[in-house]
Amino acid sequence: MTLALLLALPAAAQQRTAPPLDLRDYARARAADAAGEPGLAAAGYARALTAVPGDQLLAMRAYRQGLAAGDYALATRAAASLVAARTAPPDTDLLAFAVALKGRDRLGAEKALERMSKAQLDFIVPVLGAWLALDRGEDPLPLLDTAHGNALASRFTGRHRALLLIATGKPDQGLLSLAAFSGTEDPADARIDAGITLLRTGQVARADQLLGDLAGASKAWRKREAKGGKPDAAFGAAHVFLSLAADLSGEELAPLSILLTRAALLLDPQEDRARLLLADALSRTDATGLALQTLAEVRPDGPFARSATAGRVSALRRAGRLPEALADAKALATAERASPQEIRAYGELLFQTGSYADAAEAYAHAQVRSGDESGWELYYLRGAALDRAGRWEEALPALQRAVQLAPEEPEALTWLGNAQVERGVDLPTAQALLERARKLKPGDPAITDSLGRAYYADGQYGRALPLLEQAVRADPGGMRPNEHLGDTYWKLGRRIEARYAWRAAEVSAEPGDVTRIQAKLANGLN
């Protein structure tokens, strides 16, 4: 019986259903779900799912919230309901694989892997199969070769070939394989994985040499990793899931990232990188409290403690808790070994909170720390902050340098073009900058509006008009394009249309802009 049907039953009929559904549990679960409280949501969904195990919408919510809260029993139960109804997403096989490995259910793991080979996650099957072969006492390397020709699968087999060689007592070959892999996207993570594998196989001296001066990799952390048990299929699978979660970081795939990182932690509870990625995914789903709790579990004596603080800054920033985020970001940025990225993040928060001069100083510090690797973005960010701080003479060369370094970056082109238009400085150059930005992003209404405004500022109302009309069509509720269109209509003598556009601008105007727009509605343009 579905939840919808159960809710439609009279009270007497509901009482004959065993066990009965307490509607308060379901309502509380939905409220907790919406509020970003996975723990409370999971508890409510668990009780509701017991009452109506066949409801697929409820089962899907229980599955996702169970994973978010780390309630593997609930997630597994909900997944079983989805599988029985043939509505399960492909990632339920990944959970089944992880749970089977954790429970040393080799047959269950192999069946889950077979199902994965027939769905969207088939590209990780060769490397997972290789780690299972290691557990069976077989040579795992031939299974890696089955990924030949599949670029996506090779992305994982390249790293895990090195780990499997180390795990099978061939550290020299493993380190050679790692060296070949070091030209790919994340050699630092690959080096850490190999170092952990060396530690867990008793190769402490080699691990120390490989890890080198990895920041935060204390003796206590290395000793703890060395006692983590020999690398097996659970270890290997955890790091496969971790690699995939890292690839998905920042994309709109937070539910899959949560599953991957929860599965990684189930199989290798010492893996703090999984906690960093899990917290990021939780934060993206507004589960800020659980994200911060997860980051607090990252060990302070490990190499990821500073990353945990940076993750905390990001989570607080997403949640709008800017004073707390700013305090943590400042602590990172002012530390003796602060990285350019940490200093930049502090500058971005200062900019966001309106401290433009301080933001410009932070960006300048990040540039110094970056040395020759200081790219166009820091010039652009510093120039924008100086512009907002009213220091145009300093902002101009920084923005010009950003455009010189990145002539195909619409963001830098648009800021410099707009800044010159606002000041009436070298309008032909400003128009050229904005034309170039529009060619790079022709569908961006903000850039189209900026270009129209540049022609308006130069008195070219006929050229401005079609651009501003296009910007309003693309962004009907936008305050800026509507106001600018109204200004242009007025200059062209189309007074009724001008006031119509200004009224549209007034609807979405910020409090600081309302007075200006109302003055135009009352008096037109003086």
Confidence of residue 526 (pLDDT cuts 50, 70, 90): confident
Of 74, 78, 114, 77, nearest to 94 by C-alpha is: 114
In the chain, where the domains are located:
21-88, 421-525
Name the DSSP letter for residue 21.
P
Long-range contacts of 433-441 (CB under 8 A, 24+ apart): 433/403, 436/407, 437/410, 437/413, 440/408, 440/409, 440/410, 440/413, 441/410
Report d(CA 104, CA 234) in Å as an integer: 9
Gyration radius of the chain's alpha carbons: 28
pLDDT, residue 49, reads: 86
Is 44 in contact with 26 (CB distance < 8 Å)?
Answer: yes
Number of neighbours of residue 23 by Cβ within 10 angstroms? 14
In 37-186, which ranges are continuous DSSP H helix? 38-51, 56-69, 72-84, 91-102, 106-116, 125-135, 141-144, 151-167, 171-181
Residue with the bigger pLDDT between 22 and 268: it is 268
Span 86-117, pLDDT tens digits: 999 989 999 999 999 999 999 999 999 999 99
The CATH code belonging to domain 421-525 is 1.25.40.10
pLDDT, residue 36, reads: 85
Which one-letter amino acid corresponds to residue 23? L
Report d(CA 21, CA 51) in Å as an integer: 5
* Residues 345, 274, 116: CA angle, nearest 5 degrees: 130
Residue 165, classed as helix, strand or coil, is helix
Number of neighbours of residue 129 by Cβ within 10 angstroms? 21
pLDDT, residue 42, reads: 87
Name the DSSP letter for residue 239.
H
Report d(CA 498, CA 35) in Å as an integer: 43
Name the DSSP letter for residue 119.
S
Provide the sign of the torsion angle of the four alpha carbons 70, 71, 75, 76, taken in this order. positive
pLDDT, residue 135, reads: 94
Name the DSSP letter for residue 9.
S
Task: Tell me the backbone φ, ψ of residue 52, rounded to 5 degrees.
Answer: -130, 70
Confidence of residue 21 (pLDDT cuts 50, 70, 90): low
What average pLDDT score do residues 155-175 get?
91
User: In this model, does residue 265 exceed pLDDT 80?
Assistant: yes
Of 33, 70, 36, nearest to 48 by C-alpha is: 33
Confidence of residue 505 (pLDDT cuts 50, 70, 90): very high
What average pLDDT score do residues 274-290 get?
95
Which one-letter amino acid corresponds to residue 329? A
Confidence of residue 145 (pLDDT cuts 50, 70, 90): confident
The chain-wide mean pLDDT, for the chain, equals 90
Is 37 in contact with 282 (CB distance < 8 Å)?
Answer: no
Residues 186-198: b if buried by 16+ CB within 10 A, e if exposed: eeeebbbbbbbbb
Q: Is residue 239 exposed (0-12), middle (13-18) or buried (19+ Cβ within 10 Å)?
A: buried
pLDDT, residue 249, reads: 78
Number of neighbours of residue 146 by Cβ within 10 angstroms? 15
In 1-55, which ranges are continuous DSSP H helix? 3-8, 11-15, 23-34, 38-51
Tokens read off for 472: 């309003």
Report d(CA 164, CA 241) in Å as an integer: 16
